DNA sequence: CGCTGTCTTGAGGACGGTCAATGTTCGTGG
DNA sequence: CCACGAACATTGACCGTCCTCAAGACAGCG
């Protein structure tokens, strides 16, 4: 069952068995990718899209000095570059954080599905717009929150996403990102990220140690990060 | 010709006369909206989508203190809330900046188009992903650029968008945003925005006066703002 | 057991925020 | 045509958050 986590906790019930079977039939291959590897570079034409079955990936852009800005962090169940199907190329790089298992779907097959399966098409469209909604929240985070609130917000977001696909129990989960990665996500330096994480620990909100996140006070963390999960379009709000 | 500016300079040639006719036939009504009015509030269900024929609109989110963060600025030719069609509700507010002329398309009609017109569907999907690409660039801008570069980048973006629909000659255009609006776009205060605009003038890069932007040194402005228009997916790059 | 990447901590400085006062523009109505 | 008020723009002084630079501690891995 390749697409076991696709749209899980998010309208998955609208995916009929037929649609799922058609999607699975469109898969051209499964691949294993090593950790910390750039899979697609910006501007290169793409002819397949990638579904992430297991692992963590991220999308990022570079500035003139070569510093990165992450624009998305992906977990199991995400169609990481489905937007490349209508767009034709990516405006950013796509890389793995951990070793990953992915399934690839040729765009030619997706064109076929668009003709015969409007319901599936609309759900795939929905999934790309979910990413856009997260982008908007990231804009909000960078534009309106200070450093400690940004970190809190991001941790709440990633926890909620992981919980939606059964990878978090609500308080504890694996997050394979260094403090430098987190800084590149939140628009602050690694040094300042370190200080913010210390402060979150001091305030008894959460700890990170060896890629393991423990949320001590979920409500307090969400409050500090002004986190409201409605932009994640979950079936069961909360 | 309602959709004269739809996807203009961006794959409009892929829109067949048939597709355009079908889209126009789906329009349920034209409306005039007054300036500075909230048209859709977040979380309320939406049953139609709005195409902007003339004027400026924006999308924004509020923080706990009530301060705004703009997440998009829309110009003629934009389908401002087409993402509401697959999503079902908006995760942000949608408001006019100027008086606007809009056309409304019921989602029920779009469902019909999805069944019969995969080519049109893919182009509409594309247009929502264009917004997502701009979101990513906004994340980059807020996360990696300092204040003056953010302003430069935004001005380059809006100029390019306006030029694509014939509303800018490349150096001079109308931009109905106050310095407070620009601050809410770039994640800085109105006071600091004022200082940055003065510096851009002092550096002989651009001026703004009474909503009129004059770009004195386009190359210099793009350089300062690290602006590369490839994320706008224009037909003629450059 | 040493190398490398990651984390931690400190000191000093710059960028942008806050607060507050003043100037300018423009629409409205007398 | 002028008076008025409201919104917008401008400027200055002060301050805090976060950055920069630098050194050292720690952990994982060959």
Burial of A98 (0-12, 13-18, 19+ CB in 10 A): middle
Q: B4 in a domain, yes or no? A: no
**CATH number, position A83:** 2.60.120.10
Closest CA to A92 of A55, A131, A121: A131
Strands B57-62 and B68-74: antiparallel
Indicate whether A20 and A104 sit together in one domain. yes
Q: Which residues are bridge partners to B103 per DSSP?
A: B30, B51
Indicate whether A33 and A111 sit together in one domain. yes
Indicate whether B54 and B114 sit together in one domain. yes
How many CB pairs lie under 8 A apart between chains A and B? 133
Distances (CA, A) of B1 to A72, B5, B128: 38, 9, 22
In contact, B183 and B208? CB cutoff 8 Å = no
The predicted pLDDT at position A223 comes to: 97
**CATH number, position A184:** 1.10.10.10
Reported as a single tens digit per residue, the pLDDT across B124-155 is: 999 999 999 999 999 999 999 999 999 999 99
Indicate whether B16 and B99 sit together in one domain. yes
Residues in chain B: 238
Residues 184-223 of B with CB under 7 A from strand C: 187-189, 191-192, 210
The predicted pLDDT at position B238 comes to: 41
Indicate whether B17 and B130 sit together in one domain. yes
Residue B68 beta carbon within 7 A of nucleic strand C: no
Indicate whether A152 and A222 sit together in one domain. yes
- B189 CA to C18 C1' in angstroms comes to 10
Q: Do B43 and A230 touch (CB under 8 A)?
A: yes
Burial of A123 (0-12, 13-18, 19+ CB in 10 A): buried
The predicted pLDDT at position A237 comes to: 42
Residue B146 beta carbon within 7 A of nucleic strand C: yes
The predicted pLDDT at position B183 comes to: 98
Indicate whether A109 and A32 sit together in one domain. yes
Q: Do B129 and A133 touch (CB under 8 A)?
A: no
The predicted pLDDT at position A123 comes to: 98
Indicate whether A151 and A226 sit together in one domain. yes
Count of the separate structural domains present in chain B:
2
Task: Please give the nucleotide, over all strands, whose C1' is closest to the CA of residue A195.
Answer: C8
**Domain range holding B100?**
12-137
Where does a domain end: B78, B102, B137? B137
- Tens-digit pLDDT profile for chain B (238 aa)? 999 999 999 999 999 999 999 999 999 999 999 999 999 999 999 999 999 999 999 999 999 999 999 999 999 999 999 999 999 999 999 999 999 999 999 999 999 999 999 999 999 999 999 999 999 999 999 999 999 999 999 999 999 999 999 999 999 999 999 999 999 999 999 999 999 999 999 999 999 999 999 999 999 999 999 999 999 999 974 4
Indicate whether A78 and A190 sit together in one domain. no
- Tens-digit pLDDT profile for chain A (238 aa)? 999 999 999 999 999 999 999 999 999 999 999 999 999 999 999 999 999 999 999 999 999 999 999 999 999 999 999 999 999 999 999 999 999 999 999 999 999 999 999 999 999 999 999 999 999 999 999 999 999 999 999 999 999 999 999 999 999 999 999 999 999 999 999 999 999 999 999 999 999 999 999 999 999 999 999 999 999 999 974 4
DSSP category for residue A98? S
Indicate whether B23 and B84 sit together in one domain. yes
Dihedral angle sign, alpha carbons of residues B105, B126, B77, A62: positive
Nearest to A129 among B126, B128, B226 (CB): B128
Residues 183-222 of A with CB under 7 A from strand D: 187-189, 191-192, 210
Indicate whether B119 and B197 sit together in one domain. no
Nearest to B139 among A83, A126, A135 (CB): A135
Indicate whether B64 and B123 sit together in one domain. yes
- A109 CA to C5 C1' in angstroms comes to 42
Nearest to B69 among A126, A131, A144 (CB): A144
Smallest CA–C1' distance to C7, residue: A194
pTM (predicted TM-score): 0.96
């Amino acid at each position: 069952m390749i697409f076991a986590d696709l749209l899980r906790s998010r309208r998955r019930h609208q995916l009929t068995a037929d649609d799922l079977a058609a999607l699975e039939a469109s898969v051209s291959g499964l691949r294993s990718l090593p950790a910390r590897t750039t899979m697609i570079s910006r501007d290169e034409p793409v002819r397949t899209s990638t579904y992430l079955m297991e692992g963590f990936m991220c999308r990022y852009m570079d500035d003139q000095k070569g510093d990165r800005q992450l624009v998305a962090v992906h977990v199991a169940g995400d169609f990481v570059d489905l937007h490349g199907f209508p767009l034709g190329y990516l405006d950013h790089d796509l890389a793995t954080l951990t070793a990953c298992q992915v399934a690839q779907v040729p765009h030619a097959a997706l064109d076929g599905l668009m003709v015969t399966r409007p319901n599936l098409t609309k759900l795939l469209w929905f999934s790309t717009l979910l990413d856009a909604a997260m982008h908007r929240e990231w804009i909000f985070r960078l534009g309106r929150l200070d450093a400690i609130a940004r970190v809190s917000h991001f941790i709440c977001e990633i926890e909620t996403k992981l919980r939606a696909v059964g990878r978090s129990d609500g308080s504890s989960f694996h997050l394979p990102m260094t403090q430098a990665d987190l800084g590149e996500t939140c628009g602050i330096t690694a040094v300042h990220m370190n200080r913010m994480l210390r402060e979150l620990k001091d305030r008894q909100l959460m700890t990170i140690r060896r890629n393991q996140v423990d949320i001590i006070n979920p409500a307090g963390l969400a409050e500090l990060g002004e986190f409201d999960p409605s932009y994640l379009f979950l079936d069961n709000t909360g």
